[in-house]
């Protein structure tokens, strides 16, 4: 199998090219656009997803809003449109505010578009480098050749680099420190069985996909040495919001005395919020539970509650692997 034959997004000929993640792995289709609105829709539809990838895509989108017929009004309309696409990922507002600051410093320049694009490329490159550093820093968590469980998707598709938790696993595998990966299928959108399995296949890493409620059984069997997931937002005390089911895994790890790690760029840490209690948890549509591929799986008239994220309290997190270093409990990100 060929490695490196896919990408999450790329700026080419003044257009953003991105893979439509809702169609993976059945179809590998790329979309190209210079419309910020199209990119906003892509983020809402989860064609582009993963907290770090969302941030970079939004930065490109906001920069592209100044490409033609540039005006302050269009720019701020685009800013507000993009920031409202997903509530949980801190990278989104962080990246948009970087572009906005750049805009405010250069609003009178003729080259504002070029400057904003350069800023977006800079964000992209620094996110790529953050993934590399996370992967390298993460190698320290492996005490032996390990069987690892992960949740959702945190690889190249979810980031502007080689991934967060996924890159720790990938570099661990390449260093002979990871022997096997269990991938939670990750309901309701199957990012595990669709996207993580796709990336594990591309990297020739041995794995099996399991349902989200199988992890406890495997832990009891001694099949899991450690768990690593990503994060969408980390509070100043280390409480971490991530895909629904992450807190579940952290509780299971605590019970089975298995280390539980978060891997995320330092930019995921939101020092403005003191604890996870302040994190707004996105509720998504019932249809994600009642329909699959637009076909009714059960009656869409039934009642559903579709939390997209949960918050893992910091005391259940063995370590938070960032591009700067690995932090551990009690968390102090200023040190």
Q: Which range in 61-69, 71-79, 187-195, 224-232 contacts a second copy by CB under 8 A?
A: 187-195
- For 64, other C-beta atoms within 10 Å of its C-beta total 24
Token pair 């977006």 in the structure block, residue: 120
Residue found by looking up tokens 């469980």 in the block:
149
325 preceded by cis ω (within 30°)?
no
- By beta-carbon proximity to a second copy, the closer residue of 103 and 207 is 207
Q: What interhelical angle do 51-64 and 112-138 show, nearest 10? A: 170
User: What is the Cα–Cα distance from 37 to 74, expressed in whole angstroms?
Assistant: 11
Provide the 10 A C-beta neighbour count for residue 46: 17
Q: Is residue 254 involved in binding a second copy (CB under 8 A)?
A: yes
Q: Which stretch binds a second copy (CB under 8 A): 96-104, 121-129, 304-312, 327-335?
A: 304-312
Q: Are 261 and 320 in contact (CB under 8 A)?
A: yes
> Does 204 contact a second copy by CB under 8 A?
no
- From residue 212 to residue 251, the character string flagging contacts with a second copy as x (rule: CB under 8 A) and all else as - is xxxxxx--x-----------------------xx-xx--x
Rule CB under 8 A: say whether 15 interacts with a second copy.
no
- Between strands 178-184 and 146-150, the pairing is parallel
Task: Please say whether the beta carbons of 124 and 52 come within 8 A.
Answer: no
Please, which of residues 255-284 interact with a second copy by CB under 8 A?
255, 281
**For tokens 């559903």, what's the residue?**
304
Q: Do 88 and 309 meet the contact criterion of CB atoms below 8 Å apart?
A: yes
194 touches a second copy (CB under 8 A): yes
Residue position matching structure tokens 């009714």 = 296
Please select the residue that binds a second copy; options are 201, 204, 283, 332, rule is CB under 8 A: 201
Q: Is 1 in the site for a second copy (CB under 8 A)?
A: no
* Candidate residues 5, 13, 110, 303; the one interacting with a second copy per rule CB under 8 A: 303
Report in angstroms how near the CB of residue 237 gets to a second copy at its nearest. 16
The residues annotated with a catalytic role in the active site are 232
Binding site for a second copy (CB under 8 A): 25-26, 182, 184-185, 187-188, 190, 193-194, 197-198, 201, 206-217, 220, 244-245, 247-248, 251-252, 254-255, 281, 289-290, 292-293, 295-299, 302-307, 310-311
């Amino acid at each position: 199998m060929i490695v490196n034959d896919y990408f999450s997004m790329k700026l080419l000929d003044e257009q953003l090219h991105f893979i439509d993640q809702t169609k993976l792995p059945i179809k590998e289709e790329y979309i190209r656009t210079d419309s910020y609105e199209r990119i906003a829709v892509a983020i809402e539809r989860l064609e582009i997803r993963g907290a770090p990838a969302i941030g970079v895509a939004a930065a490109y989108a906001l920069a592209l809003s100044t490409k033609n017929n540039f005006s302050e009004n269009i720019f701020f309309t685009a800013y507000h449109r993009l920031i409202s696409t997903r509530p949980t990922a801190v990278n989104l507002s962080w990246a948009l505010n970087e572009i906005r600051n750049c805009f405010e410093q250069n609003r009178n320049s003729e080259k504002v578009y070029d400057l904003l694009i350069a800023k977006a490329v800079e964000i992209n490159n620094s996110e790529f480098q953050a993934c590399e550093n996370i992967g390298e820093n993460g190698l320290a968590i492996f005490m032996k050749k390990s069987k690892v469980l992960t949740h959702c998707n945190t690889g190249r598709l979810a980031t502007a680099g080689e991934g967060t938790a996924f890159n720790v696993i990938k570099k661990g595998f390449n260093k002979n420190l990871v022997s096997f990966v269990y991938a939670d299928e990750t309901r309701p959108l199957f990012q595990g069985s669709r996207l993580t399995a796709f990336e594990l296949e591309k990297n020739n890493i041995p794995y099996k996909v399991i349902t989200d409620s199988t992890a406890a059984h495997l832990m009891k069997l001694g099949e899991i040495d450690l768990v690593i997931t990503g994060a969408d937002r980390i509070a100043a005390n280390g409480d971490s919001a991530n895909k629904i089911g992450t807190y579940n895994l952290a509780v299971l790890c605590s019970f089975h005395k298995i280390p539980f790690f978060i891997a995320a760029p330092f930019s995921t840490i939101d020092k403005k919020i003191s604890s996870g209690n302040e994190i707004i948890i996105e509720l998504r549509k019932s249809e994600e539970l009642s329909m699959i591929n637009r076909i009714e799986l059960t009656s869409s008239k039934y009642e559903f509650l579709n939390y997209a994220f949960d918050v893992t309290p910091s005391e259940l997190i063995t370590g938070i692997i960032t591009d700067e270093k690995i932090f551990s409990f009690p968390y102090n990100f200023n040190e």
